[in-house]
Amino acid sequence: MSKGQKALQCDICRIWHHITCEKVSQDVYTFLAEHNEDSIQWICRKCQSTYQRIMNSMCRLEQAHQRLEQRVASMEKKLEELFEDKVAVLDNKLEKLVSNMGAQNMFQEDLFEAEDLRMRKTNVIIHGLQESSATDRDVVHQQDENSIVDLLHELKCDDVSVNAVTRLSRKMEGEDAKPRPVKVVLASRNKRTRYCVCQKTCVTSGE
């Protein structure tokens, strides 16, 4: 470049360019030459084209980024709604399961109570039956069973079947101690009904 040629240095590529090649007017050249300041920049046409392409690409990237953010936000909203729906369904199922379990427990309790009542209907409590003074539990139990057999025979209820004979409460010591009541478990309710028909005052229901 000749010394007398007018040129401007590009602030991007740092190359000197003839003002005629860059089609820079004389007024613009004069202004830039007189105001050589960092705040005022001049860019050649090649760098302007490159800069424009970069800016266009950045704008497209920014737009794509905005669209991506919108899609992500939309997906998050759908996922949140789906999660809330699933949680509501699970809560409903859990509530039904707990309710069914409660109903099942109540049903089992009713069954236990019914079974207990059924078993009680075969029970007879006998008061005042003489109690053995033996210390051996097996001997005492055998004597109680024999006493029950004798009592049934006396009452003319020899066909009554007995499943179990049990002394109730703890044995009292001393001369004034009274014999403990005896619980007799009969084989069936019908047997107990027949037994109660011919009962004495010492015999009561086990219910």
Q: Give the span between the Cα atoms of 206 and 193, in whole angstroms.
A: 12
Total number of domains constituting the chain: 2
pLDDT band at 201 (very low <50, low <70, confident <90, very high): very low
Greatest mean pLDDT among 39-43, 106-110, 138-142, 203-207 lies in: 39-43
Residue 117 resides in a domain: no
Q: Give the span between the Cα atoms of 184 and 164, in whole angstroms.
A: 6
Q: Give the span between the Cα atoms of 63 and 73, in whole angstroms.
A: 15
Spatial CA neighbour of 183 closest among 114, 129, 136 = 129
Strands 16-18 and 203-205, sheet pairing: unpaired
Q: Higher-confidence residue: 101 or 189?
A: 101
Residue 199 resides in a domain: yes
pTM for the model: 0.38
Residue 116 resides in a domain: no
pLDDT of residue 18: 92
pLDDT tens for residues 55-92? 899 999 999 999 999 999 999 999 998 888 888 888 88
Residue 176 DSSP label: T
Please give the mean pLDDT across all residues of the chain.
80
Find the CATH number of the domain harbouring 190.
3.30.70.1820
Which tokens hold the place of 94? 């859990």
Q: Higher-confidence residue: 1 or 96?
A: 96
Residue 89 resides in a domain: no
Rounded to an integer, the average pLDDT of 22-43 is: 88
Residue 164 resides in a domain: yes
What is the percentage of the chain residues whose pLDDT exceeds 70? 85
Spatial CA neighbour of 131 closest among 169, 181, 176 = 181
Residue 84 resides in a domain: no
- 203, β-bridge pairs: 126
End-to-end CA distance of the chain: 127
Domain enclosing residue 186, as ranges: 123-205
Q: Which residues contact 186 (CB under 8 A, 6 or more apart)?
A: 122, 123, 124, 160, 161, 162, 163, 192, 195
Rounded to an integer, the average pLDDT of 42-56 is: 91
Residue 6 DSSP label: -
Residue 144 resides in a domain: yes
Residue 183 resides in a domain: yes
pLDDT tens for residues 122-164? 778 888 787 777 778 888 888 888 888 888 778 777 777 888 8
Contact 43, 11 (CB under 8 A): yes
What is the percentage of the chain residues whose pLDDT exceeds 90? 22
